[in-house]
Amino acid sequence: MKEDQKLSPWQQKLHEIIYEADTPMGKLFDIILFIIIIFSVILIMLESVKAIDAEYHEVLFILEWLVTIFFTIEYIARIICIKKPSNYIFSFYGIIDFLSTIPLYISYIFAGSQVLLAVRAFRLLRVFRILKLARFLGEASQLKRALKASRAKITVFLFAVLIASVMMGTLMYLVEGDEAGFTSIPTSIYWTIVTLTTVGYGDIAPITPQGQAIATIIMLLGYGIIAVPTGMVTAEFAKQGKDNTSNLKNSGRYVHVNTQCCPTCTKEGHRDDATHCYNCGSLLNE
């Protein structure tokens, strides 16, 4: 299909239903798609349970094929209702949709490839667009800005933690030695990081009083390591939260919930009052 060629009426209607969620039909389609995606992920989980798969293998297999056929039809429909299919095919969602469809087909060539169907979980990212959760999108945008603003502080902090881990790990290696499982400095550093993060697998443990004293200090430091970066991000998040909606609009950071998708380049994220695509300039509603 040529890029300057207009879509036929049925293609425009199909595009509106499949790619957008501003109309009742579009929202219904996306909600049904969302339910089927969840259902398919549950199917994959059930198939991995040997007892369930042994008893209901035929049923699960048939259901999986029905879901795969639905996704195949949806994938083809997404291709035929846009002016430039390659923009969708090689986009993030296009690749995810393709990978979600082919595993069952190629399982006849490569055994076990159907486990790749778990990639369908990535399609759940559409939930924000489908349900138009503007508040969550706004909070996510605010959190993103907070993380970006505090990334320098967090980087310096993590670097300091890494240096402390190397020093503590080396000290534990000298104090404990091979008998306690501290067979090398890298192994000791591994134990230090596990202890600092309060995970504590228990595969290695100090046995000397000196080592236990150092371990106690490391454990106490672990709580600080959790608190410090959390405090950094929280402070930035609170700072970002002081902006009200009008300020966000004026600063260009207002979250637009328009679900329109360009029929030419498939770009989303247009302004609510947009008439043309911000990426290619094509008319959004022909």
Q: Where are the domains positioned within the chain?
A: 9-136, 140-251, 255-285
* pLDDT reported for residue 215: 92
Which ranges in the chain belong to alpha helices (H)?
9-19, 24-47, 50-80, 85-89, 92-101, 103-106, 127-130, 134-149, 151-176, 185-196, 209-241, 245-250
140-251 adopts what CATH topology? Helix Hairpins (1.10.287)
* pLDDT reported for residue 115: 60
Q: Is the pTM of this model over 0.75?
A: no
* pLDDT reported for residue 190: 92
As a whole number of angstroms, the distance between CA 195 and CA 225 comes to: 11
| CATH assignment of 9-136, among 3.40.50.10440, 3.20.20.70, 3.40.50.620, 1.20.120.350 | 1.20.120.350
As a whole number of angstroms, the distance between CA 249 and CA 66 comes to: 45
* pLDDT reported for residue 171: 92
Torsion of Cα atoms, 222 then 224 then 229 then 231, to 10°: 150
Each residue of 65-92: pLDDT tens digit? 999 999 999 999 999 988 888 888 998 8
* pLDDT reported for residue 257: 54
Each residue of 25-67: pLDDT tens digit? 888 888 898 888 889 888 888 887 889 989 998 999 899 899 9
DSSP 275: S
**How many Cβ atoms from other residues are within 10 Å of residue 186's Cβ?**
11
Residues of the chain whose pLDDT is less than 70? Answer: 1-5, 111-118, 120, 124-141, 240-259, 269, 272, 286
